[in-house]
Amino acid sequence: MTEPFGRRLAERTAERGALCAGIDPHPGLLDAWGLPRSVSGLEKFALGAVEVLAAEAAVIKPQSAFFEAYGAAGVAVLARVINYARQGGALVLLDVKRGDIGSTMGAYTAAYLDGDSELAADAVTVSPYLGFGSLVPAIETARAAGRGVFVLARTSNPEAWQLQNALLPNGKTVAQSIVDEAAAVNRGVAPLGDVGVVVGATVAPGELDLDALNGPVLAPGFGAQGATVGDLRRLFGTALRGVLPASSRDLLRHGPDPAALRAAVRRIQASISE
């Protein structure tokens, strides 16, 4: 896999639309699908979801924590989801939010961005709160392998505001400084850089300047958390270039019927592209 992630992402979203379809095997969703809260229920849920979503969406985003909750057997199911998503033609953004220093970050990088790992994805989410420089092993490994990273910048959870909007000595917020660091890595890359940021779709317009980012934006909070297409356009502009609105539980509640889930994906895609 040598073609840069940013280029592959731009091509895939041009073909299929920008929706990032999450696979979150939340216990409540297993209940709603009539499945047991067990490895067998997890497997039926996740593989049933990916069979539909991978053929429709440009990006599939499994939430690793809900698989890890079932131990080694759950992680094995996650590996199958990653593989099936690729077979269906989707890119895989694995939501792991890892962030550490030195050799520990290198080990996380080997697990999720190295081509020899069963858990290697097209891109992963990472946390910069041990310093943006701590992410260098992940960024370098990702680029060498044609993969990407999405760095948490301004997340949608209410607890994040105090930290992420804190002012630094240069007058910028912590969140803006993360965006600027990502922009520096992406400078000059075409058509889109490989280092994205995570910005909640529920964030107030004007909090961040994303003009120079030249990379993708993962926008959770669309759907179940209340963000609408109008909110996306107010926050990111009318073109939504490089923006991946993420929908997980609001989308998955339409299962387990494949036809209903497929129709929901297409309905959401159409609303984003209008």
The residue among 17, 22, 61, 66 whose CA lies nearest residue 43 is 66
Distance CA 16, CA 96 (A): 24
User: What is the chain's length?
Assistant: 274
The answer to whether the peptide bond before residue 25 is cis (omega within 30 degrees of 0) is no
Catalytic residues: 97
Strands 59-62 and 148-154: unpaired
Distance CA 147, CA 141 (A): 8
The residue among 100, 102, 113 whose CA lies nearest residue 139 is 113
Would you list the DSSP string of 62-97?
Answer: EBHHHHHTTHHHHHHHHHHHHHHHHHTT-EEEEEEE
